[in-house]
Structure 1
Amino acid sequence: MVLIITRALGRRAPLLDDWSVDLPPDDGRGEEGGGLTLRELIARVVRAEVAAFRQRQRRDSLLRVLSPSEIDDAAARGRVLPGGRPASPEVDEESAVAVALSGFEDGLYLVVIDGTEQRDLDAQVFVRPDSRLTFLRLTFLAGA
């Protein structure tokens, strides 16, 4: 599993909670986790997130009975969701990958693997089980 971290310049709080994705299988290139291009790694992360989104959608479409303590906890957080929400439109996995790759090419975010910035989508990268993959969203100044 590779730890995924999301940050934005100028913000202390993370954009999302950290999460993990499975490592690519060993492809015989001699390194655990195998070598793959940055393009393939970003696509793998996006596809994993689309799958997780679909799973949350299915879960949230079911009506759940909440215990009094679950209601109190949710109310303290400011939102009680018993489920039963209609499903959102279907997410096209390939479009999501294309948007993510286009955002990287347009300089909207940086990718840092184990403290090293990655600049080339077609460069080979290696990830290990303890690797940290950081997506750093850049903030542009008005008029710049």
Structure 2
Amino acid sequence: MELRLQLKRLGKKKVKEVPFTLEKNPQNLEELLIACVKNQVEAFNAKRTEVNVIGFLSPAEIQEKAQSGKIEFGELANTELADLQKAIDNVLLAFQDGLFLVFVDDNEITALETPLELHSQSVIAFIRMTFLVGTYW
């Protein structure tokens, strides 16, 4: 199933849209979060294990990277792989702690057990909450 994920941080205007493919239709929010984490951990770990054979950037790659404001070779100093179970535990805890909100087709999902009815046109938005730093005494 092909979906569109929207990633947003409060206080920022930019919304990052990411195409996302699921092997099977998740029955609830918990299954959706786990599927997203599995996908991202696999991509993260694959990037850590791939070998960069070409040690230079083409002019087109330099131009593309200049648009984002950072020109780099893409080599990673940290090659440690992510632990899938820790990542799943973290995302479930972060959701329960209110560190991010989830909207499916403009409807907020507030519980992990909430049943989902996703279709190919579904838009899933993850909004990362930003908390104020400091205390009042």
**TM-score, normalising length: structure 2:** 0.81
**Residue among 28, 32, 35 paired with 1:44:** 35
Q: Distance in 2 between matches of 1:122 and 1:76?
A: 41
The sequence identity of aligned pairs, in percent, is: 27
Number of residue-to-residue matches in the alignment: 133
Please give the per-residue CA displacement for 1:71-125, whole angstroms capped at 9, x wherever unaligned.
Answer: 4554565443335545521100111111011000001111100110001101211
Say which SS state the counterpart of residue 100 (structure 1) adopts: helix
Worse-matched range after superposition: 41-50 or 81-90: 81-90
Partner AA of 1:22 in structure 2: T
Contact kept, 8 Å, 1:63 with 1:83, in 2: the verdict is: no
Partner AA of 2:87 in structure 1: A
Alpha-carbon RMSD: 2.3
Worse-matched range after superposition: 89-98 or 65-74: 65-74
Contact kept, 8 Å, 2:103 with 2:109, in 1: the verdict is: yes
Does 1:66 pair with 2:65?
no
| Runs of 4+ off more than 4 Å | 75-78
**Residue among 130, 134, 137 paired with 2:128:** 137
Q: Distance in 2 between matches of 1:114 and 1:76?
A: 31
Gaps of 5+ in 2: none
Deviation at residue 139 of structure 1 after TM alignment: 1.9
